[in-house]
């Protein structure tokens, strides 16, 4: 069997990506969710997004939410920022360990998402780095549509590499490859990620996987087989870009933690607390979440029930 890592780092993105396409929750409810997730043992948590409330109403009042969050020791909190103004707002709010900028591989989705060309967004990344660096904040850049653009179709791996090289050249310290509409499969993961590992060996890579076509878990396993150990996941599997048709559903935190735990791969995350947070999330959004483990329960619970039967 291909060697697998002994430990994987999960960044919880539910309070941002998970909620951005939901009806807006109150500041208090968003704080409740973040606080519950902070107690699960997740090492990283994307808490808020300093984007235009007109564009993404569910992400309004980022500073007010962040001010009320009960920040847990050992959790590295980050904020998503679209440009210099967003970065300045996050820095003014204080307390973040890093900032997350973003752009796409092709103009089609990038214009729908932020109203700019990819070239203009690369300039925005440089401006974000310019204000983050003096504040001592590293910048990670999420490259959306790394495995396919919902408006332009397949994206050549060389194009993903080109964008990654440009943003690293602009000062990004980390890269996150996003499968925005769930177009990736394991072979595409190996091809794109492998190319970046070869050409940008000193740049850490995170994967942000959507489960639109049911491939997120397979893609995560494929990525681990080639050395990727950092993944985004969203409580309940909630999330998806409001600007990408069909982009529903992220890699569910409880599903991936459950799988890794049974495989003997450490995450430091308490699955019972994650499931409690998923239950809270369902009460807040008013509907069932997409996670399989939330619905079926952990396999060891079923196993213990079967052993107890006469």
* Per-residue pLDDT tens over the stretch 228-246: 999 999 999 998 776 666 5
The predicted structure's pLDDT at residue 249: 85
Q: Which phi and psi angles does 260 have, rounded to 5°?
A: -65, -40
Q: CB of 79 within 8 A of CB of 48? A: yes
The answer to the question of residue 4 being in a domain is no
Q: Between the CA of residue 99 and those of 74, 131, 166, 283, what are the distances in Å?
A: 17, 11, 18, 30
The answer to the question of residue 3 being in a domain is no
pLDDT confidence bin for 305, thresholds 50/70/90? low
Q: How far apart are CA 17 and CA 253, in angstroms?
A: 13
Residue 307 clears pLDDT 60, i.e. is over it: no
Contacts of 77 (CB under 8 A, 6+ apart): 44, 45, 46, 47, 69, 71, 95, 96, 97
The answer to the question of residue 2 being in a domain is no
pLDDT tens, 184-220? 999 999 999 999 999 999 999 999 999 999 999 999 9
Query: How many domains are there within the chain?
Result: 1
Entry pTM: 0.94
pLDDT, averaged across the chain: 94
- Sign of CA pseudo-dihedral 144, 149, 154, 159: negative
pLDDT confidence bin for 150, thresholds 50/70/90? confident
Q: CB of 19 within 8 A of CB of 289? A: no
Which domain range does residue 166 map to?
9-308
The predicted structure's pLDDT at residue 190: 98
- Sign of CA pseudo-dihedral 284, 90, 12, 161: positive
Cα 100 vs. chain centroid, distance in angstroms?
10
The answer to the question of residue 134 being in a domain is yes
Residue 24 clears pLDDT 60, i.e. is over it: yes
pLDDT tens, 111-143? 988 999 999 999 999 999 999 999 999 999 999
CATH of the domain at 107: 3.20.20.70
Burial pattern 55-90, b for ≥16 Cβ within 10 A else e, equals ebebbbebbebbeebeebeebebbbbbbbbbbbbbb
pLDDT tens, 152-178? 889 999 999 999 999 999 999 999 999
Residue 254 clears pLDDT 70, i.e. is over it: yes
Supply the Cα-derived Rg of the chain in whole angstroms: 18
The predicted structure's pLDDT at residue 304: 59
The predicted structure's pLDDT at residue 247: 56
The answer to the question of residue 173 being in a domain is yes
Q: CB of 112 within 8 A of CB of 153? A: no
The answer to the question of residue 121 being in a domain is yes
pLDDT confidence bin for 1, thresholds 50/70/90? very low
% of the chain residues with pLDDT over 90: 87
Q: How far apart are CA 74 and CA 201, in angstroms?
A: 27
pLDDT confidence bin for 260, thresholds 50/70/90? very high
Residue 306 clears pLDDT 60, i.e. is over it: no
% of the chain residues with pLDDT over 70: 94
Instruction: Tally the residues of the chain.
Output: 310
pLDDT tens, 69-108? 999 999 999 999 999 999 999 999 999 999 999 999 999 8
pLDDT confidence bin for 280, thresholds 50/70/90? very high
The answer to the question of residue 18 being in a domain is yes
The answer to the question of residue 282 being in a domain is yes
Q: How far apart are CA 173 and CA 235, in angstroms?
A: 26
């Amino acid at each position: 069997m291909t060697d697998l890592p002994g430990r994987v780092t999960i960044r919880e993105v539910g309070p941002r990506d998970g909620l951005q396409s939901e009806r807006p929750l109150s500041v208090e409810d968003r704080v409740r969710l973040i606080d519950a997730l902070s107690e699960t043992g997740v090492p990283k948590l994307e808490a808020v997004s300093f984007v235009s409330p007109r564009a993404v109403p569910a992400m309004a009042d980022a500073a007010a939410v962040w001010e009320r969050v009960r920040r847990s020791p050992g959790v590295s909190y980050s904020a998503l920022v679209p440009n210099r103004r967003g970065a300045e707002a996050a820095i003014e709010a204080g307390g973040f360990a890093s900032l997350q900028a973003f752009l796409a591989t092709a103009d089609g989705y990038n214009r729908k998402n932020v109203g700019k060309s990819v070239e203009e967004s690369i300039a925005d990344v440089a401006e974000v780095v310019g204000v983050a660096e003096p504040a001592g904040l590293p910048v990670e850049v999420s490259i959306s549509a790394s495995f396919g653009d919902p408006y332009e179709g397949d994206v050549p791996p060389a194009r993903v590499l080109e964008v990654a090289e440009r943003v690293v050249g602009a000062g990004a310290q980390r890269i996150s490859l996003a499968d925005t509409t769930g177009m990736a499969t394991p072979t595409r993961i190996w091809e794109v990620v492998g190319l970046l590992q070869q050409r940008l060996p000193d740049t850490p890579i995170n994967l942000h996987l959507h489960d639109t076509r049911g491939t997120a878990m397979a893609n995560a396993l494929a990525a681990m087989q080639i050395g990727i150990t950092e993944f985004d996941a969203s409580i309940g599997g909630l999330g998806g870009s409001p600007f990408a048709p069909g982009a529903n559903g992220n890699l569910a935190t409880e599903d991936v933690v459950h799988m890794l735990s049974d495989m003997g791969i450490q995450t430091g995350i308490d699955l019972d607390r994650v499931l409690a947070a998923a239950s809270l999330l369902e009460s807040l959004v008013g509907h069932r979440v997409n996670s399989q483990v939330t619905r079926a329960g952990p396999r060891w619970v079923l196993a213990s029930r079967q052993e107890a039967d006469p």
